[in-house]
Amino acid sequence: MTTPAEAKEDTINLNHSKLGTKQYWDDFYTLETNNFKENKDDTGECWFDDCDAENRMVQFIMNNDGEQFDIENDKLLDLGTGNGHLLFELLEEGWNGPLVGIDYSEVSVRFAENIANTKDYKDVKFARSDILNDTDSFLVANEEQFDLVTDKGTLDAIGLSKEMYGAEGNLKGVDVYPTTVGKLVKTGGVLLITSCNFTEEELTRIILKNDKFTKWKTINYPTFQFGGVKGSAICSIAFMKK
Ligand X SMILES: C[S@@+](CC[C@H](N)C(=O)[O-])C[C@H]1O[C@@H](n2cnc3c(N)ncnc32)[C@H](O)[C@@H]1O
Q: Count the neighbouring beta carbons within 10 Å of the beta carbon of residue 113.
A: 17
Considering all CA atoms of the chain, what is the largest pairwise distance in Å, rounded to the nearest integer?
Answer: 59
Contact present, 135 and 143 (Cβ < 8 Å): no
Which of 112, 115, 152, 184 touches ligand X by CB under 6 A? 152
Q: Going residue by residue from 15 to 34, which x/- string records binding to ligand X, judged by CB under 6 A? A: ----------x---------
Selected range binding ligand X among 32-40, 150-158, 219-227, 229-237, rule: CB under 6 A: 150-158
Residues that bind ligand X (rule: CB under 6 A) add up to a total of: 20
Residue among 46 and 70 whose Cβ is closer to ligand X? 46
- What totals of helices (H) and strands (E) does the chain contain, helices first? 9, 11
CB of 233: closest distance to ligand X in angstroms? Answer: 15
Which of 36, 60, 88, 104 touches ligand X by CB under 6 A? 104
CA distance 241 to 150: 13
CA distance 216 to 237: 8
Applying the rule CB under 6 A, the residues between 166 and 195 that interact with ligand X are none
Residue among 44 and 226 whose Cβ is closer to ligand X? 44
Contact present, 129 and 102 (Cβ < 8 Å): yes
What residue is closest to ligand X based on CB?
Answer: 80
CB of 92: closest distance to ligand X in angstroms? Answer: 16
Which of 12, 64, 80, 172 touches ligand X by CB under 6 A? 80
Helix, coil or strand: residue 230: strand
* HSE toward the beta carbon, residue 241, CA cutoff 13 A: 22
Binding status of residue 212 toward ligand X by CB under 6 A: no
CA distance 157 to 15: 11
Q: Alpha carbon of 55 to those of 76, 87, 133, 221, 240: distances in Å?
A: 17, 11, 30, 12, 21
Binding status of residue 108 toward ligand X by CB under 6 A: yes
As beta bridge partners, residue 241 has: 213
Q: Going residue by residue from 84 to 103, which x/- string records binding to ligand X, judged by CB under 6 A? A: -xx----------------x
Binding status of residue 153 toward ligand X by CB under 6 A: yes
Residue among 14 and 86 whose Cβ is closer to ligand X? 86
Residues of this chain that bind ligand X (CB under 6 A): 25, 46-47, 80-82, 85-86, 103-105, 108, 130-132, 152-154, 157-158
